[in-house]
Amino acid sequence: MSIFWSPAKRFSLYLVVFFLTFSGAFAAPQEGHETNTAEEHEAFDPNIIIHHVMDDHVWHLWDHGGTIFLPVIVYSQQGGLDVFSSRNFYDEHHNKVPYNGYVLDEHEHITLNGQSVLDISITKNVAMLLINATLLVLVFAAVAKGYQNNRGKAPKGVQSFMEPIIVFVRDEIVKPNIGKNYEKFMPYMLTLFFFVLFGNLLGLLPGAGNLTGNIAVTLTLAVLTFIITNVKGNKEYWKHIFWTPGVPLPLRIFILPVEIVGIFTKPFSLTVRLFVAITAGHIVLLSLISLTFIFKSIFVGFASSAIVLFISLIELLVAGIQAYVFTLFSSLYIGMATAEHEHEEHH
């Protein structure tokens, strides 16, 4: 078992060392910096809610040493490729400052001497993406190993936990909607389902990033489904779009633009549905938690805590539902594009 896990463990260790090398580990409290009573009782800023659901070049976990400064990777014609820690954008009081001509604005956009740069930094959501992908590799490597070791036997361990979910995705989502050619799309569908599921669940952990609530992530997943749907679409699929059977010729003038728009509204709906559901859930939870600090009341604290517990249980359900829905509609779109239609001519 140790031989099997060693490559994955080494990869995880390299990932941690990579972050800590650029960040200088966790930010230590600054010497000589003291907070007075007024600062300790500073009014609560509700903008922290928006800050949590947005992407960031630092990963803030808690005050006084709980900030991980992530690596900044930018490219421009002026400075070429430049790599440095995001620690350089902050002073000892955690206020943003310029660094070698680079400026990080309040919207997390980086400019060099007033000019835009290509930002390919390891931001909080990118770090969450790497963590999510690493977790997927570790889990399914263990499942694959279980299938090899328990061939012809009852599943054990991680394999026994994941197998019913895999079978559910195959028999209840992919196979009914794609049809007889479903097997060639199973690897993508399983990856899609578990990537969204793991991302949703990880996003509920304290201090975690809002991975699947980032519209760039949901858009990328939707574009992948869009590409597969239209590349694998057969002639019947394109015939229904450009020359719909059984429709009078004058009506085809109006149906054609509707069908073309429909090609692009499908990935748009996939993008927005997941993005809105996850982001809204995070905002609701954080808003309820913030009520305790805004009203500074024990009663409000107990009441909001009880509601947060209830909403968190719902969010666990939503995490699974959204993974199911995203995979379901992706299967449905691909199935519609690859299905073989039979038409009867009526005289």
Please write the tens of the pLDDT for every residue from 177-197.
998 889 999 999 999 999 999
Mean of pLDDT values over 86-107: 89
* Average pLDDT value for the chain: 84
pLDDT at 232 over 50: yes
More confident residue, 53 or 178: 178
Q: Is 59:70 a contact under the CB 8 Å cutoff?
A: yes
pLDDT of residue 39: 45
The model carries a pTM of 0.81
Q: Which residues pair with 115 in a beta bridge?
A: 112
Which own/partner pairs from 83-92 qualify as long-range (CB within 8 Å, at least 24 positions apart)? 84/22, 85/22, 85/23, 85/24, 86/22, 86/23, 86/57, 86/58, 86/121, 87/23, 87/24, 87/27, 89/57, 90/58, 92/30, 92/33
pLDDT at 112 over 80: yes
pLDDT of residue 42: 57
Mean of pLDDT values over 136-149: 91
* 17-40 burial: b if 16+ Cβ within 10 Å, else e: eebeebbeeebeeeeeeeeeeeee
The answer to which of 3-12, 16-25, 120-129, 331-340 has the lowest mean pLDDT is 16-25
**pLDDT tens-digit readout, 22-41:** 444 344 444 444 444 444 44
Q: How far apart are alpha carbons 32 and 153 in whole angstroms?
A: 64
More confident residue, 93 or 327: 327
**pLDDT tens-digit readout, 276-309:** 999 999 899 888 888 888 888 888 888 988 999 9
Mean of pLDDT values over 57-63: 84
Q: How far is CA 5 from CA 10, 141, 159, 191, in A?
A: 9, 9, 15, 21
pLDDT of residue 216: 93
pLDDT of residue 332: 95
Residue 273: both structure tokens together: 């549905």
